[in-house]
Amino acid sequence: MTVPTLPVSEATTPQPDPADVESRPLTELLPTGTLRVVVVAVAVFVVVASFSRFGLSGKALLGAVFCPVLVLLAAIDAKHKLLPNAIILPAVLAVGLILAAYAPGSFLSHLAWGAGLGAFFFLFGIIFAGGIGMGDAKLAFLLGLALGSQTLAAALVACAGLLVAALYVLATRGLSARKDAIPFGPFLALGGILIFFLS
């Protein structure tokens, strides 16, 4: 006589619901431990570098706000795959105010670049669901607002970095990793910081 059995599904590691992560307090998303020390050290470095590179100027102040925010967002996105509105939106406001104060003639051009790149990422995320998140689109807007005509160069650096990372993952983990999500935020941050200092 055989004993009836019930089918049992294979155990899988539960993935956090993005909505649950988004609803968590910002304090729970901030880096901790060694990562916090690294983020603070890099943030201080880019602030000092901004004033060293551009002197006591509006652009230096812009970099002192823009670049540390990118460092923090890169760390959060790398760990949680999330770019919090609570950081991006105040950063957009601060960058916009600084830009309007020190280069009012360029403000509309910068705003157009931000809107253009942000809209492109937004549409890409709608058409290819799961490819790019809405946080990436908001971060793209921040990059465009801060960088103006240098925005495209930052986006190209980010895409090149993402491509290299994807190829590395495929080479080391095989084709089974082709569906793994790689956060785009750190690469956008890298492109933004690099192009800001080169501009």
For residues 108 and 24, the model is more confident at 108
For residues 127 and 129, the model is more confident at 127
- List the one residue out of 52, 62, 50 whose CA is nearest residue 102: 62
Sequence spans of domains, the chain:
33-198
For residues 156 and 171, the model is more confident at 156
Q: Are 115 and 140 in contact (CB under 8 A)?
A: no
Q: How far apart are CA 162 and CA 52, in angstroms?
A: 29
**Residue in the structure block whose two tokens are 């790019």:** 132
Q: Read off the amino acid at residue 162.
A: L
pLDDT band, residue 8 (cuts 50/70/90): very low
Q: What is the DSSP letter of 68?
A: H
Q: How far apart are CA 169 and CA 42, in angstroms?
A: 26
Q: How far apart are CA 103 and CA 97, in angstroms?
A: 10
Q: Are 187 and 165 in contact (CB under 8 A)?
A: yes
Locate 163 and state its tokens.
Answer: 């491509």
Q: How far apart are CA 186 and CA 73, in angstroms?
A: 7
Locate 84 and state its tokens.
Answer: 């919090």
State residue 55's pLDDT score.
94
HSE-CB at 125 with a 13 A cutoff on CA atoms is 15
Locate 19 and state its tokens.
Answer: 């909505």
Name the average pLDDT for the chain. Answer: 87
